[in-house]
Chain A
């Protein structure tokens, strides 16, 4: 029904049947129809393996400066990690990426070991929640099994594995599990992003040093560390206006490390 509804205006815009422009054969007619419908047919709808391979190999966050530093966004079909201290802007960045991906009409999943996903925040960022699958795992085992199952299901473009629990210790996921998840992500071209606290970070949330390692170990293609630079209040009356943060590129397999981009996470982006 949806398709038919869209096709109708195209037919009205076609030239009159009589005259030299009338398609001679069915294949010509189909060709003409495809040209008319071109912008409406999604690139991925009937993509062949070759076309899929040529598709952009990254998922942009929609933040131009950050995307430029990342070479276009988060690498598709790879394991990446966004880590940092509480209030460093990890979740805001994840929601940007989520919103951007969902806006393309793609499907995403949020495996929520931390049980911290806030639908209101996601909706405020512009995410189309109908395309988001939220899995509220209760344990590391449930989160890992859910993640593996989703990675085996072709069609989810982006999967977040949120491990950044506020009160309980960091999830102890073994290196071999990350290796398995990374391989599964590569096999189905799904972008898997782990959200985490940096190991041993609870004592000094504002800074990190080289001894603090990402939870994904060396398995992530990209590790982005978010650093808090404080909150900004305006007023009176005093109102929380923004979180000032920066994103440090701790690792990128194909880009130079160490780049740091300042981000301002505002209450009202307009």
Chain B
């Protein structure tokens, strides 16, 4: 089995740089929290060469580098960056596994495993694959190290070694411009594994505190020292945890195949430095979020069909919104326009302190046009139009009208447009030889308009309402409709009249026997 590990030693730093690319090239530190006692957990190369070190407090860092940029570690950004690693891995192979967050000195590390078995058939060699994997991560603003070995732990150990040892050395040789570029990829053949690992420090294994203290007490510094000692005696003195460490170094652990992750939910978020209360500023925030979301969607060849937005407001409230995108979409402009329209249509109740957008990725659909249908909008364009109309008027107010098998007045349905195949196929069913004649058409009043009706001998003779008022010249009816008599809540009994008013309007009037109300349901027009 061959497994590649893409490892990012300073994930909080890269998470921040993904969201704020303008900080690239600036001395930047990420602190574990707000306040002066928070420690630096990640720092940029520019901060390192100015003398800042991980573990320093903010005042200590400012003492050596007064113009340093400081950001508090954001769990939202870090989670998105961590998931981006998985997306990068899945853009190469269907089997990938995100490494759980480590603790101790490797807390800011992010890593993902990719199935590299047989990968040379696609990329020529494992080395070429490692370079491509590294380059793709770097293109997304994540600088990592790639190692390929015969097990998860070995690959991770090698990548960690590249990151901690060679990378730091390169940073410290900052003045030496002739120095070679640091090695960012390494392929470890199974037969070379022990030779390569032997001189590495034991700390790379990230042993727990008790084991680490014991190993230091015994004077064990490198993996070679550890491997020389008899396993059983060591385990008897230091506990079974040490056996696990040795097995990991020797590659003797049980190596299960990587699983195919089913998670397709993508999320990007941002906590704002200051609350935003205008659309223009918010548009910039949305642009960054959507851009990163679309990048990740395109990595996995997925599209977005529904944008879920969560706004964290200044007054402590949270607003969740759903914006439908009718067909899988990767178009940044379309998604941005939908977000903007949504905010315009339903402005938040207070200034915004944080934004999260998420989407369920679905495979992109191919457009299939039809030679036997008339010209119409392309499916993608139609879907975008429908999505925008849904944002403007509300999804429940846009669609295809449908009839309901129900005698109650004013019943209809509104189905999503274009989901059902039209009944007719076009010109073939269009018979020009039969001339059409206009047919009585009702203009519905929603809701029906209340009316005051004077009745004589059971017939309406005059009417007062907001729609029409005056004498009833002619009345036709009543036509009674009743139903659902077995249920108190849904029982209906209505008398309908078609009446012609003295002002020329022809109305459909009804009397509801349950409420005893006269109402105008609509006008014939």
Contacts and interface: CB of A to CB of B under 8 A. Distances in A.
B397 A92 contact: no
Contact of B441 (A63, A92, A167): A92
Given A119-B402, A146-B393, A233-B500, A2 B370 contact: yes
Interface in B343-373: 369-373
B524 interface: yes
B171 interface: no
B219 interface: no
Given A6-B372, A42-B371, A45-B372, 16 more contacts: A3-B372, A41-B372, A62-B435, A63-B436, A86-B467, A86-B505, A104-B426, A119-B401, A119-B412, A133-B400, A137-B392, A154-B377, A167-B449, A228-B504, A238-B475, A264-B438
Interface string B376-415: 1110011001101100110001111111000000001010
Nearest to A114: B443
Nearest to B425: A105
Contact of A237 (B376, B426, B428, B476): B476
B169 to A, nearest CB: 58
Given A130-B420, A155-B376, A240 B414 contact: no
Contacts of B371: 3, 41-42, 45-46
A141 to B, nearest CB: 9
Please name the 5 residue pairs, one residue from A and one from B, whose CB atoms are nearest each other, closest first. A105-B426, A155-B377, A44-B375, A62-B436, A119-B401
Which residue of B399, B441, B446 has the most chain A CB atoms within 10 A of its CB atom?
B441
Interface string B420-434: 111111111110000
Contacts of A99: 436
Nearest to B522: A118
Interface string A200-233: 0000011000000000000000000000101101
A107 B385 CA distance: 14
B441 A118 contact: yes
A135 B414 CA distance: 10
Nearest to A41: B371
A242 interface: yes
Contacts of A242: 440
A198 interface: no
B524 A107 contact: no
Interface stretch (A15-23, A120-128, A174-182): A120-128
Contact of A105 (B393, B402, B430): B430
A183 interface: no
A3 B437 CA distance: 33
Interface residues of B, number: 69
Nearest to B396: A136
A58 interface: no
A234 B468 CA distance: 23
Contact of A96 (B389, B428, B436): B436
B309 to A, nearest CB: 20
B398 A133 contact: yes
A133 B399 contact: yes
A154 B401 contact: no
Contacts of A266: 437-440
Contact of A149 (B385, B477, B500): B385
A154 B500 contact: no
A3 B426 CA distance: 13
A125 B438 CA distance: 8
Contacts of B525: 86-92, 164
A91 B443 contact: yes
B401 A87 contact: no
Contacts of A173: none
A6 B370 CA distance: 12
Contact of B401 (A43, A85, A117, A243): A117
B428 A40 contact: yes
Contacts of B437: 63, 264, 266, 269
A156 interface: yes
A171 interface: no
